[in-house]
Structure 1
C-alpha cells in the first residue's frame, strides 16, 4: 500500500517512479569517471573499458515529468561526471502490478527494477530473477552502516535469507517525518464555518454536508464533497479500510493485503473483520448516501483525482494528501488562493471514545519502494558501484540537498538552505531542473546527517512548515490554534516502528498464498458493495453481517495464524542475522 504508503516537489516524482531498466546507448563515448565512494563494491570496474563508456539507464515513469534525461538536471550532470551513467525517463501507461507479473512471466524484466510490495518481491526472488547484494554489504562500509537496521530485515523478506534489495525513504527519524495521511480540507469552508475542530467521522459528515449546501458550485462547476482515487490498484484495496491506523492499536506495517498489524499486542489480525475497518466502510456509506462522496471515485485514478484537487472543486480528499502543496501552488497561480487545502486528522467514533495514543508508523522497511538489480543487468558491477556511492555522505547529501553554494551553504558546520532551494520546493519546474526526486531509486533517507540537519533539508523540523507550506496553509493552522501542521499528531501519537512485521509475507505460489489472495479479492469486491448498496444504517449492518458470514467460509484465521507463526520464526532468525 501502500499504506503507504508520502512529498512536495520530490513527492510528485517519487510516487511516479515505477521501475527502472538499464541499457547501453548505441552511441558510446569516452568519459571521465572518478569513484570516490566509500568502499566501492567493485573498485576494478573504474579501470575497465566498460566503465569509460556512457551507460544509459531507462527509468519508466507513470506520469510525464518533462525531464527526458538525467543529465538535463544539475545533480544528474554530477552523476554523469563521476560514473558516466545517465538515466533516461520514459512514460509508461497501464497497471503497474500487472506489468511486473507479465515481465516476470516473459523473463523480459529490466536491469534494475522497482517493486511495490513484498508479495511481488517474493515472486521475483523465487523465480531467480534478482541478483544478491551481499557483496555490496561486504565491500561498502557506507552501505552497511547506512542500512544496518534494515539489512537483516531485508534478508528476512527473502525465502533463502539472502540480500536482494534496498529500499527508499529509510531509515527514518520520527521527528523529521510524522507521516499522517488523513483528510485534505478546503480552507475557505473551514473559515465559513468558524474554523471548527474537526476530528470524528460524525464531525466530517456534518461539516461536509453543510459545506456542499453553502457551496454548490466552484468556479462554474459542481462542487464535489470528497474525492478518493479508488480506481488505483491500491485504492479500494488499501485506503477504503485505512481508518484502523488512526486509532491506538494498529499501524500499516502489514501493507494492504489480508491482515493488519496490532502494534501494541505485537500480532497480526484479520483486516476484513476488524472493527475500525467496519467503521471506515460505514463512514464511506454515509458519505455516499449523503451525496458527499464523489461517485466517480470508484473509477478515478490519480490523474482524475489530481485534476479535481488542482481545480479546487473538491471540498475534501481522503488519505491522498501529499499533493496538497502542489495543488495549492496551482490554485494561487490561478488566482484562487482561498481554495487551498490543509491536512486535518480524523478518527472513528470508537477511536474518539477510547482516546488512545495513535500509532504513527515509523518505517524500518518500506516494501512500497523496493529496488533490486535483476539477472538481466549487463553491467551489474557499475550499478552496484553507483548504489554504494549513493550511500556515502557525499552521495546522500548531493542527491537530497543538492550542490553546496547553490542549494545550501555551510554556517557553523551545518547546512543552511538557500533561497533558491526554498524556491525549488515551491516551483515544480525548478525542482525538476535541480533533480530532486529524480534519483530516489538509488535510495533516499529521512534521517539526519552528522551536521544534525536532515539529508533532505525540507524535513528539518524547525523549517519544515516554512519550506513546505504556503502562507495560506500556515495561516489556516494558526487560526485552528496549531503551532505547526504536525502539532496535533505529535501530541496525540507515538512512534510505531514497523520492525519485523513489515517483512512478513506468505509464499504467493503456495496453496495458502492463493487462499490469502482470495481474502484480498473478497474484501475489495465487498467493500465497494458495502459503500454503495445500503440505504440506511440498519441496511448496512444487515449487509455487513451477511458479508462477514460469507467471508468466514474462506477460513481467514488460517492465513492470520500463518502470519503470526512466520513472525515468531523470523524473530528468532533476526537474532541470528544481526
Structure 2
C-alpha cells in the first residue's frame, strides 16, 4: 500500500557531479577501496565536492566523515556535502523548475512532475550513454522499459532507488498486531480467520478488563488519517490471492492474477472487511474513537497498554513499551484472512515494487559533466558498488565465510542506530541507488534485509519467545510460505488526470466510499442489517456510473502494455 502507507519518504534533493568508472566487480575490501589504481580512473580526475540537499536530520556534514564516504573519496576522488532542507517537496520541485536553478541531479517524486521537467527541456536523456553502461543496463533490465513509459517521447530520463527487489528480503505484510501477554494468557492460539479474531478479542477483553488501571479496548485504528477509512478499511482485499495494492486507494483495485482493474467499492473482499469491522463494532471490540483518532492517538493507546490489538500496524513502538517497564505490552504482527479467502486458500499476492515513481532521479541540463555522472552510476551498479554502498567495508562491517558475507558484531551494533549507521555511511547515498535483491553469494546486498538477521538485531527476547511459542522460525515465515511475488509493473504507473471529467468522477467514487464505509461499520445492528444497507449503498453507488472509470483504467493499461512491448 505504498501510495498511502504513510508516505514516509526521505526527501533528497541534490546537486551532484560524479566521477570515475568501476575497476573490477569483486566485493570491496578496505584495501581495494583505497586503491587509486588505473590512471584513467580514481584520483586522476580532479577532486569534486558535491552539495546534496538532505531533509533527514544528520550530524554528518561531508561524506568523507563516514567509512563508506572515505572509501568512495579514495577510489573516486569525490566528496558529498550534505545541506539540510525543509519545506514541501512538490513545491520545491516546481519552484526549482520555474526558476531554472535545479541541481545537476534532481530527485523527483511524482510522474506528473517528471513530465513537467521533461517537457521543459530540463532533463537529459540517458539513451546515448547506455552503450557504455553494461552493468547499469543489466541491473535495471526490467525497469528501463518501464521508466520510458512516462516520457512523451519514450526516451529514458530517470533511474530509481530501491529497485529491483526481492519480496522475501523486503516483505511488507501489515495485517493485525496483538499484545503478546494477551496471546500468552490465551495459550498462544493460532489465529487466522476474522471469526478467530472476533472470538479471541471478545474473550481477551473479558480476561483483561483493565490495564494499568485503565479500561482496555479491543482494537484501535487511526481511521481519521487521510489513508484511514479511504485506504485501510477495505485493505482485506490484499490478504487473499487475487489482488495487490498496485492500484492505490482511489477508485479501482488491481487484480494481479487476471491483470485487470476492478471497482474498489464493490469488491467482495472489501465488503467482507467492512462486515468484519461492523461485527467488531457491535461486539464493543473496535474503539469508537477510531473514527476521530489519528496515528499519534492510536499509538498512544498501544503504548499505554489500553489497546489489545491494532489493525494494519504501520507503527508498533515496541522499544518504548520495553523502556516504560512493560515488555508484556509489546505487539507482534499476525496474519488475518476473510472467510472467502480461507476457503479459496490462494497464494497471497505480495506487492513487489519494480518501479518507484515516488523516488526518481534524473540528470538535468545544468550538469557540467553528465558523462561522469553516468560513469558513477555505472560503478554503483557493479557488484563492488552495490556491496560497498549497502554492506560497508570488508573486515569492518562484514567478513566472508564459506563464500558468503557474514555481518560483524560491529555491524549488528550500529546498523539500526540512525546516528551510528550514518557515521558509517549507510543510507547516506540513495542517489546512487540501493537494491533489495541478493548478491551472488546468496546474501542480500543490504545484509539487514535477511529475515533471520533482522529478527536477531531487532526483536526483544520477549518477541523472539512469542514467535517460538507460535511455532514460527522468524517473524515473516507465514507470509513467505503463503505468498508469492506480485510485481507492480505497468499497473503502478496508470492514473487518470484529476482535472478531467473522469478524474472528477473518480473523486466522487472515493468520497462516496469513504462516507458510506463509515456508515456500514457503525450503523448495522446485525449481519442482516449489514446486507440490507450494503445492497442499498451499492445501488446508490452504481448511479455514479463507476464503470466509466474502471473501463478507462483498463483501456490505459492495454495502451501502456502495447507501448511497453514496442520498447523492449
**TM-score interval, normalised by the smaller of the two chains:** 0.7 to 0.9
Q: Secondary structure of 1:211's partner?
A: helix
* Candidates 64, 81, 85, aligned match of 1:86: 81
Distance 1:508 1:161, change over 3 A: farther
Give unpaired runs (5+ residues) of structure 1.
Answer: 7-14, 25-30
* Higher radius of gyration, 1 or 2: 2
In 1: Cα distance, 2:226 partner to 2:125 partner: 29
Residues 174 and 495 in structure 1, CA contact (< 8 A), matched pair in contact too: yes
Whether 2:39 is the aligned partner of 1:2: answer no
What aligned pairs does 1:166-181 form with structure 2 within 5 A after superposition? 166-181=159-174
Partner of 1:12: none
| Offset at residue 564 of structure 1 (A) | 1.7
Distance 1:209 1:462, change over 3 A: closer
| Offset at residue 556 of structure 1 (A) | 1.8
In 2: Cα distance, 1:516 partner to 1:123 partner: 23
Residues 3 and 238 in structure 1, CA contact (< 8 A), matched pair in contact too: no
| Offset at residue 245 of structure 1 (A) | 0.8
Residues 54 and 85 in structure 1, CA contact (< 8 A), matched pair in contact too: yes
Whether 2:218 is the aligned partner of 1:228: answer no
| Offset at residue 197 of structure 1 (A) | 1.1
Larger mean Cα displacement after TM superposition, 529-538 or 439-448: 529-538
In 2: Cα distance, 1:279 partner to 1:414 partner: 46
Count of residues in correspondence between the two structures: 549
Partner of 2:407: 417
Distance 1:104 1:195, change over 3 A: farther
Distance 1:234 1:194, change over 3 A: same
In 1: Cα distance, 2:320 partner to 2:386 partner: 30
Distance 1:524 1:389, change over 3 A: farther
Partner of 2:36: none
Partner of 1:197: 190
Cα deviation, 1:197-247, whole Å, max 9, x if unaligned, reads 111122222222332343344445554433334444433332222111111
Cα deviation, 1:400-442, whole Å, max 9, x if unaligned, reads 2122222111223321101122223454543344343344354
TM-score w.r.t. the length of structure 1 is 0.82
Distance 1:67 1:254, change over 3 A: farther
| Offset at residue 157 of structure 1 (A) | 3.5
Q: Secondary structure of 2:219's partner?
A: strand
What aligned pairs does 1:518-537 form with structure 2 within 5 A after superposition? 518-537=508-527
* Candidates 470, 477, 486, aligned match of 1:487: 477
| Offset at residue 89 of structure 1 (A) | 4.0
Residues 248 and 356 in structure 1, CA contact (< 8 A), matched pair in contact too: yes
| Offset at residue 371 of structure 1 (A) | 1.4
In 2: Cα distance, 1:48 partner to 1:302 partner: 52
Give unpaired runs (5+ residues) of structure 2.
Answer: 25-38
Cα deviation, 1:371-426, whole Å, max 9, x if unaligned, reads 13375866683765654443333332222212222211122332110112222345
In 1: Cα distance, 2:59 partner to 2:392 partner: 17
| Offset at residue 332 of structure 1 (A) | 2.7
* Candidates 359, 375, 382, aligned match of 1:370: 359
Whether 2:194 is the aligned partner of 1:208: answer no
Residues 79 and 85 in structure 1, CA contact (< 8 A), matched pair in contact too: no
Distance 1:276 1:154, change over 3 A: same
Partner of 1:516: 506
Q: Secondary structure of 1:253's partner?
A: helix
| Offset at residue 273 of structure 1 (A) | 1.2
Tell me the C-alpha RMSD between the 2 structures.
3.8
In 2: Cα distance, 1:108 partner to 1:194 partner: 64
Residues 19 and 113 in structure 1, CA contact (< 8 A), matched pair in contact too: no
Distance 1:547 1:145, change over 3 A: same
| Offset at residue 279 of structure 1 (A) | 1.6
* Candidates 156, 161, 186, aligned match of 2:179: 186
Partner of 1:275: 268
Whether 2:349 is the aligned partner of 1:359: answer yes
Distance 1:540 1:151, change over 3 A: same
What aligned pairs does 1:558-569 form with structure 2 within 5 A after superposition? 558-569=548-559
Residues 21 and 41 in structure 2, CA contact (< 8 A), matched pair in contact too: no
Distance 1:244 1:137, change over 3 A: farther
In 1: Cα distance, 2:96 partner to 2:538 partner: 35
| Offset at residue 306 of structure 1 (A) | 4.6
What aligned pairs does 1:146-545 form with structure 2 within 5 A after superposition? 146-298=139-291, 300-310=293-303, 312-321=305-314, 323-324=315-316, 327-367=317-357, 369-373=358-362, 381=370, 386-425=376-415, 427-460=417-450, 463-545=453-535
| Offset at residue 294 of structure 1 (A) | 4.0
Larger mean Cα displacement after TM superposition, 263-272 or 164-173: 164-173
| Offset at residue 301 of structure 1 (A) | 4.7
Partner of 1:55: 50
Q: Secondary structure of 1:176's partner?
A: coil
In 2: Cα distance, 1:511 partner to 1:46 partner: 55
* Candidates 20, 25, 46, aligned match of 1:35: 20
| Offset at residue 344 of structure 1 (A) | 0.7
In 1: Cα distance, 2:349 partner to 2:283 partner: 31
Q: Secondary structure of 2:420's partner?
A: helix
In 1: Cα distance, 2:488 partner to 2:311 partner: 23
Residues 236 and 528 in structure 1, CA contact (< 8 A), matched pair in contact too: yes
In 2: Cα distance, 1:115 partner to 1:228 partner: 32
In 1: Cα distance, 2:531 partner to 2:23 partner: 60
Residues 70 and 77 in structure 1, CA contact (< 8 A), matched pair in contact too: no
TM-score w.r.t. the length of structure 2 is 0.83
Distance 1:45 1:217, change over 3 A: farther
In 1: Cα distance, 2:168 partner to 2:44 partner: 44
What aligned pairs does 1:546-561 form with structure 2 within 5 A after superposition? 546-561=536-551
| Offset at residue 451 of structure 1 (A) | 2.4
Cα deviation, 1:96-139, whole Å, max 9, x if unaligned, reads 67x57975997699646655565665676667665544355444
